[in-house]
């Protein structure tokens, strides 16, 4: 049965924010659309206003400054302060009950991070006090400027290893003062450009680096981080370089730490067990070494940690000379990992507690704390997953827990650092290994394989690059493969042939929905990407290939000849000059083949550019439609079949 164009029941005026007012006809009683909607011409945009809106959406999308209108000056000032320092926003509702939770979580956190910081500083080839410094000043800065309630700030294993690896390639760690200056300068630049794929490989590399401490090897050990070099050094020292007392201490306490981690993982009520286990290990092992004087039998100890809070290091930065460029390169690489890890962790825990974090504020907060840290003898800090998990499970409500942790670190630096003198290096190695084991995530690798083979290729490239070469090479491989994937997706976007689902007005991909039927004489192609110079030529040729294949099919099946080609443009979010030229060439090609081109559902941005380029006038406004259904109704008004259930 043929559905003829029904008489309109009524007309309505639709006034949109973006399109001009249009009058349309109402549906008939069958619920079908017997009329044709018109795509309105977008109003001309003010260039300055458009640029301002883009800047606001990019940098201040969630900013209270956007709600300034009609507010008194005092309120505007307060909004400005809250935008930069969120603590003045959530701090108004802070209560004693919240402080109790933050106090407990801060104290629990401190018991975990103090021994970790000493060990992580060793990974970076820095004195142990620099690790403690980095858990004092940066967390305080973040507490005032960050938007995450749960993240715990301080040194982390991967960044520490990477920083140490990159720094020692430029300056020998034995040249302590220049080495530290380069570390502080790299930290200063770490906010300039602030990735997950390298972490599993880094976990193995970090663990391998701890073999020197676990086995008590005192002879010269390789500075390289690849598995071949490390294992060669280990076996070369097997005959006379291993210390059995050190091995006993390391294995005993590593077993204790892993058991504590297992207990905390199996039962959430005992979250505090793996949190306090590192401090217990340090205290017990230090006491045992002190009373037995095992250091005289070859057990390596920490020896000396400087007492007192962070000394000023602003004057130590390399701001001129040959090391500026090197520090910038190291800082950028370390900063990429630090920022990515922090934002990923912050968003994970924000989703668990159903609140939002502002990525822009996180970048500013993390950048500022690293700049301030570089002035106060700190190295690159970020949010660590293990300490953030402990912070969350301990019941933190706000970043006041970071303040509490920083307070405990302050007391440690002022009062008890001399007590760490007899702490065995093997304990620090055990703590680091126990901490990084969680980075080995085989389930995540399996999931990546199932979801995206190209992502898995990047993951494996990063893993083997880190394990067999170095962390920075692994990172470079991961970045390169990921960029290659992005470029492939951008330059070769997906397109699909659409068909109509039975008894609906819905058009879907015929490969995904085999029951979808193509309209006789019409080919509907959906483009699933913005059209830019990078892909415009490919999209044009791919549409023409679809057309050629369809023409061959209809000839074989003796179906009606293709007379209309509709490009469904709802996924096309933008188009540039090259994209418009590609559409013009497609239009001219179709004219030669006596096929009419129609565009369906172009967005405001695309419509504006089509009019500005005059392509909309060239193709004809009557051939631009708000939906595929409207295009079909125009092109084939006499072949719309009423489908019975």
Q: Which two tokens stand for residue 585?
A: 């060439």
Pairing of strands 564-568, 522-527: parallel
pLDDT for the residue numbered 450: 84
Round to whole Å and give the CA distance between 212 and 204.
Answer: 14
Measure the CA–CA gap between 274 and 401, rounded to whole angstroms. Answer: 18
**Does residue 15 surpass a pLDDT of 50?**
no
Contact 576, 532 (CB under 8 A): yes
Q: Rounded to 5 degrees, what angle do the CA atoms 538, 547, 517 make?
A: 120
The pLDDT tens digits of the residues spanning 187-204 come to: 998 864 434 444 565 667
- Residue 334: is its pLDDT beyond 60? yes
Cα→Cα distances 98→88, 143, 399, 645, Å: 16, 15, 11, 60
- Tens of pLDDT, residues 363-414: 888 989 999 999 999 999 998 888 888 888 888 899 999 999 999 999 999 9
Look at residue 277 and tell me whether its pLDDT is greater than 80: yes
- Asked if 361 contacts 146 with a C-beta cutoff of 8 angstroms, the reply is yes
The predicted pLDDT at position 57 comes to 60
Ranges of beta strands (E only) in 530-578 are: 564-568
Helix axes 471-491, 157-168, angle to 10 degrees: 110
Q: Which helix (H) or strand (E) holds 631?
A: helix 628-635
Reduced to 3 states (helix: H, G, I; strand: E, B; else coil), residue 10 is coil
Distances (CA, A) of 6 to 30, 34, 633, 637: 10, 6, 12, 12
DSSP 596: E
Residues 457 and 193: beta-carbon distance below 8 Å: no
Whether the per-residue pLDDT at 362 is higher than 80: the answer is: yes
pLDDT tier at 10 (50, 70, 90 boundaries)?
Answer: very low
Lowest mean pLDDT among 341-345, 467-471, 493-497: 467-471
By the 8 A CB rule, do 150 and 353 touch?
Answer: yes
What's the pTM?
0.69
Beta bridge partners of 25: 11
Tens-place pLDDT, residues 48-68 = 776 776 666 655 555 444 555
Q: Look over the chain and give the mean of its residue pLDDT values, rounded to a whole number.
A: 81
Band of residue 540 on the pLDDT scale cut at 50, 70, 90: very high
Contact 6, 28 (CB under 8 A): yes
Question: Bigger pLDDT: 229 or 132?
Answer: 132
Residue 35 banded pLDDT, cuts 50, 70, 90: low
Please tell me the least confidently modeled range out of 24-33, 506-515, 549-558: 24-33
- Statement: residue 221 has pLDDT above 80: no
How far is the C-alpha of 246 from the C-alpha of 427, rounded, in Å?
A: 9
Cβ burial, residue 6 (10 Å; 0-12/13-18/19+): middle
Q: Is residue 29 over pLDDT 70?
A: no
CA distance 418 to 209: 26
Residue 483 to residue 572: CA distance in whole angstroms: 22
Q: Mean pLDDT throughout 233-260?
A: 81
> Which whole number is the average pLDDT over 311-320?
90
Whether the Cβ atoms of residue 191 and residue 335 lie closer than 8 Å to each other: yes
CA distances from 316 to 175, 224, 311, 453 (A): 14, 27, 11, 47
Distance between CA atoms of residues 209 and 433, nearest Å: 10
Residue 235: other Cβ atoms inside 10 A: 9
Q: Is beta strand 624-625 parallel, antiparallel or unpaired with respect to 596-600? A: parallel
Query: 10 Å Cβ neighbour count for 155?
Result: 32
**Between 4 and 161, residue with greater pLDDT:** 161
User: What sign results for the dihedral spanned by CA atoms 185, 189, 191, 197?
Assistant: negative
Number of CB atoms found within 10 A of residue 179's CB:
20
At 119 the pLDDT is 87
The pLDDT tens digits of the residues spanning 283-295 come to 998 898 888 888 7
Q: How far, in Å, CA of 174 to CA of 176, rounded?
A: 5
Decide if pLDDT at 472 tops 80. no
d(CA 375, CA 313): 5
pLDDT tens sequence across 204-218:
777 766 777 777 676
CA distance 564 to 619: 13
> How would residue 223 be classed by pLDDT, with cut points 50, 70 and 90?
low
Q: Would you say residue 561 has pLDDT above 50?
A: yes
In sequence order, the 6+-apart residues with CB closer than 8 A to the CB of 631 are 564, 566, 598, 600, 625
pLDDT exceeds cutoff 80 at 521: yes
**What is the Cα–Cα distance from 424 to 614, expressed in whole angstroms?**
76
CA–CA separation, 468 and 90 (whole Å): 47
Distance CA 288, CA 120 (A): 23
pLDDT at residue 376, as a whole number: 94
Distance CA 583, CA 560 (A): 25
**Residue with the two structure tokens 């007192």:** 308
User: Which pLDDT score is estimated for 645?
Assistant: 40
Instruction: Give the DSSP letter of residue 23.
Output: E
Listed in sequence order, the residues at least 6 apart from 351 whose beta carbon sits closer than 8 Å to its beta carbon are none
Secondary structure (3-state) at 11: strand
The Cα-based distances of 234 to 181, 240, 253, 259 in angstroms read 31, 11, 21, 26
For the ranges 141-150, 260-269, 496-505, the lowest mean pLDDT is seen at: 260-269
pLDDT band per the 50, 70, 90 thresholds, residue 40? low
Which domains are delineated in the chain? 96-218+225-440 (no CATH), 493-635 (3.30.750.24)
pLDDT: is 590 or 52 the higher one?
A: 590
């Amino acid at each position: 049965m043929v559905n003829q164009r029904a008489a309109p029941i009524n007309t309505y005026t639709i006034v949109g924010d973006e399109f001009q007012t249009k009058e349309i006809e109402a549906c008939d009683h069958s619920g079908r659309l017997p009329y044709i909607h018109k795509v309105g011409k977008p109003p001309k945009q003010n260039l300055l206003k458009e640029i301002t809106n883009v800047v606001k959406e990019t940098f201040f999308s969630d900013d209270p400054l956007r709600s300034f209108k009609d507010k008194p000056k005092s309120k505007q000032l307060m909004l400005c302060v809250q935008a930069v320092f969120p603590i003045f926003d959530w701090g108004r509702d802070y209560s004693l009950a919240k402080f109790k939770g933050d106090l407990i979580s801060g104290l629990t956190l401190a018991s975990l991070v103090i021994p970790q910081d000493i060990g992580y500083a060793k990974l970076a080839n820095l004195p142990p006090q620099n690790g403690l410094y980095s858990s004092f000043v940066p967390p305080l800065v973040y507490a005032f400027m960050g938007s995450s309630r749960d993240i715990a700030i301080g040194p982390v294993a991967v960044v520490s290893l990477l920083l140490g690896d990159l720094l020692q390639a430029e300056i020998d760690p034995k040249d302590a003062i220049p080495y530290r200056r380069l570390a502080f300068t790299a930290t200063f630049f770490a906010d300039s450009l602030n990735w997950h794929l390298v972490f599993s490989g880094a976990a193995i590399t970090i663990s391998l680096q701890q073999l020197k401490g676990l086995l008590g090897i005192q002879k010269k050990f390789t500075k390289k981080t690849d598995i071949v070099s490390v294992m060669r050094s280990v076996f070369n020292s097997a005959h006379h370089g291993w210390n059995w007392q050190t091995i006993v201490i390391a294995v005993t306490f590593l077993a204790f730490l892993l058991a504590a981690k297992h207990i905390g993982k199996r039962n959430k009520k005992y979250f505090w067990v793996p949190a306090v286990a590192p401090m217990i290990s340090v205290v017990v092992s230090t006491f045992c070494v002190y009373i037995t004087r095992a250091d005289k039998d070859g057990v390596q100890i920490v020896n000396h940690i400087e007492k007192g809070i962070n000394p000023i290091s602003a004057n130590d930065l390399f701001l001129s000379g040959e090391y500026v460029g090197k520090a910038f390169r190291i800082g950028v690489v370390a900063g990429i990992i630090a920022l990515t890890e922090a934002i990923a962790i912050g968003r994970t825990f924000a989703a668990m507690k159903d609140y939002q974090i502002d990525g822009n504020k996180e970048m500013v907060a993390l950048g500022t704390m690293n700049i301030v840290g570089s002035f106060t003898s700190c190295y690159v800090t970020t949010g660590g997953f293990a300490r953030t998990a402990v912070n969350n499970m301990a019941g933190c409500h706000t970043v006041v827990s970071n303040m509490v942790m920083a307070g405990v670190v302050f007391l440690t630096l002022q009062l008890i650092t001399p007590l760490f003198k007899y702490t065995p290096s093997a304990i620090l190695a055990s703590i680091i290994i126990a901490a990084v084991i969680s980075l080995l995530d085989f389930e995540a690798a399996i999931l990546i394989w199932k979801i995206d083979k190209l992502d898995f290729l990047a993951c494996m490239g990063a893993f083997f690059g880190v394990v067999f070469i170095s962390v920075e090479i692994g990172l470079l491989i991961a970045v390169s493969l990921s960029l290659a994937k992005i470029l492939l997706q951008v330059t070769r976007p997906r397109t699909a042939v659409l068909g109509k689902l039975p008894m609906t007005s819905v058009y879907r991909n015929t490969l995904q929905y085999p029951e979808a039927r193509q309209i006789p004489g019409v080919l509907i192609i959906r483009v699933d990407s913005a059209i830019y110079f990078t892909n415009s030529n490919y999209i044009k040729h791919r549409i023409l290939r679809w057309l050629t294949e369809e023409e061959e099919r209809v000839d074989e099946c003796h179906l009606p000849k293709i007379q209309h080609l509709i490009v469904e443009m709802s996924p096309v979010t933008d188009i540039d000059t090259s994209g418009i030229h590609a559409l013009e060439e497609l239009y001219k090609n179709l004219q030669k083949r006596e096929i009419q081109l129609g565009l369906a559902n172009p967005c405001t941005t695309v419509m504006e550019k089509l009019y500005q380029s005059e392509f909309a006038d060239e193709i004809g406004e009557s051939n631009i439609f708000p939906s595929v259904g409207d295009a079909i109704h125009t092109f084939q008004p006499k072949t719309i079949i009423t489908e019975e259930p």
